[in-house]
Amino acid sequence: MPTENKLALKQKRVEHVNHVIRIIAVHSRRFFYSQAVNRYASMEVDHRGKIWFIDDYSGKRIFTHKTVWGGRRGFSHGGTLRNLVEAFRDYIRTGDALPLGYLGPERFDDSNIWGYDEAGMKAVREQAGALPVFRQPVAEAA
């Protein structure tokens, strides 16, 4: 596949991921949104096809892969959200959809590790889960 087509596919998948990030950012605890600077996080692909995360709090452009020079410095969220961003990176790179379980993974007591309230988590799962970033449930045959 020519490089231009690969880059165009990555750009389209970045749009999907940024839509998911916005959905997460407008509900409950508003991860990926900084009220202090009124900024949303986002992801982007540069002209070489490299994938970057733009941190909502710091505004820094963060390379999403581990590097010898510490390319993930500046990420202002915890490990769970960093893992989600890395999963988004992999989706952008390959097009392989993610399991719905990435959206606020469940705990044993019917809560989620993000600490989102029930209504907020339901909204995030319904809205973001309908996007191509996530695997769609297979309809049962009659």
Give the tens place of pLDDT for each residue, 23-42: 999 999 999 999 999 999 99
Among residues 89, 113, 117, the alpha carbon closest in space to that of 103 is found at: 113
Does residue 95 belong to any structural domain of this protein? yes
Does residue 141 belong to any structural domain of this protein? no
> How many separate domains does the chain show?
1
At 125, list the tokens: 């799962």
Beta-strand ranges (E) seen in 1-136 are 33-34, 39-40, 42-45, 51-54, 61-63
**pTM exceeding the 0.85 threshold for the entire prediction:** yes
What range defines the domain where residue 57 resides?
3-129
Does residue 118 belong to any structural domain of this protein? yes
Q: Which residues of 58-91 are buried (b: 16+ CB within 10 A; e: fewer)?
A: beeebbbeeeeeeeeebbebeeebbebbbbbbeb
The arithmetic mean of pLDDT across residues 15-27, rounded, is 98
Of 79 and 3, more confident? 79
Contact status, residue 104 vs residue 113, Cβ threshold 8 Å: yes
Does residue 34 belong to any structural domain of this protein? yes
Query: CA 68, CA 85: separation in Å to the nearest integer?
Result: 19
Does residue 50 belong to any structural domain of this protein? yes
> Tell me, what's the pLDDT at 1?
45
> Tell me, what's the pLDDT at 136?
85
Does residue 31 belong to any structural domain of this protein? yes
Most confident of 80-84, 103-107, 108-112: 80-84
Does residue 139 belong to any structural domain of this protein? no
The arithmetic mean of pLDDT across residues 110-129, rounded, is 93
The arithmetic mean of pLDDT across residues 97-110, rounded, is 88
